[in-house]
């Protein structure tokens, strides 16, 4: 089956840009699901892998194309790995608005008083060749850092301005898109996915 066109089961412009930059090098064209009339899938599950699988199946079933979905988020051990799968709506779940700024404010509030500010981003990718594919390709990437108290950087999205990388001395939002793709949780997962798909093709 040709991998030239794959529907991305997301309407997130930031994710589409990151995915396209990496997968484009392998001649894979990512098509955003909203350009193909695909509505957002429900994400009722408590794990990244279950939500990613649900999104990929929905997008593939509607379009008839192979589908790639990710479910990703920030896990903070001091908060029992919250916000986790609820990263995009962390503040909204506690009466706030659904926005990156509100999510970051809520995160800092919840971490106040904690000495352990370690955190890691998780990205779980699910690739389906067709909607009822019984053997989906599932890969995971993690990116470890810590939550800082002051934002820095103009790139990225989500929690990136507060996600500090001690080894680099910068936040994720201070990295250029190329730098971020080379070391991020999503970049790592995508590279593993590419290796898997290429091995299948051989």
Active site amino acids:
71
- The answer to whether the beta carbons of residues 33 and 12 sit under 8 Å apart is no
SS (H, E, C) the chain: CCCCEEEECCCCHHHHHHHHHHHHHHCCEEEEHHHHCCCCCCCCCCCHHHHHHHHHHHHHHHHCCCEEEEEEEEEEHHHCCEEHHHHHHCCHHHCCCCCHHHHHHHHHHHHCCCCCCEEEEEEEEEEECCCCCCCCEEEEEEEEEEECCCCCCCCCCCCHHHEEECCCCEEHHHCCHHHHHHHCHHHHHHHHHHHHHHHHHC
């Amino acid at each position: 089956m040709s991998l030239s066109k794959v529907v991305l089961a997301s309407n997130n412009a930031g994710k589409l840009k990151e995915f396209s930059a990496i997968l484009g090098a392998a001649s894979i064209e990512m098509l955003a699901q909203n350009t193909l009339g695909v509505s957002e899938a429900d994400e009722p599950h408590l794990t990244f892998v279950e939500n990613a699988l649900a999104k990929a199946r929905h997008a593939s079933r509607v379009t008839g194309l192979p589908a790639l979905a990710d479910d990703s988020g920030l896990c903070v051990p001091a908060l029992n790995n919250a916000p986790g799968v609820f990263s995009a709506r962390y503040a909204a779940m506690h009466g706030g608005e659904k926005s990156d700024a509100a999510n970051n404010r809520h995160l800092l509030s919840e971490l106040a008083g904690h000495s352990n500010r370690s955190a890691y981003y998780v990205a779980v990718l699910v690739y389906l060749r067709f909607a009822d594919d019984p053997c989906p390709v599932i890969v995971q990437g993690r990116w470890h850092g810590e939550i800082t108290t002051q934002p820095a950087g103009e790139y990225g999205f989500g929690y990136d301005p507060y996600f500090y990388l001690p080894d680099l001395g910068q936040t994720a939002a201070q990295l250029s898109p190329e730098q971020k793709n080379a070391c991020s949780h999503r970049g790592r997962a995508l590279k593993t996915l590419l290796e898997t798909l290429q091995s299948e093709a051989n």
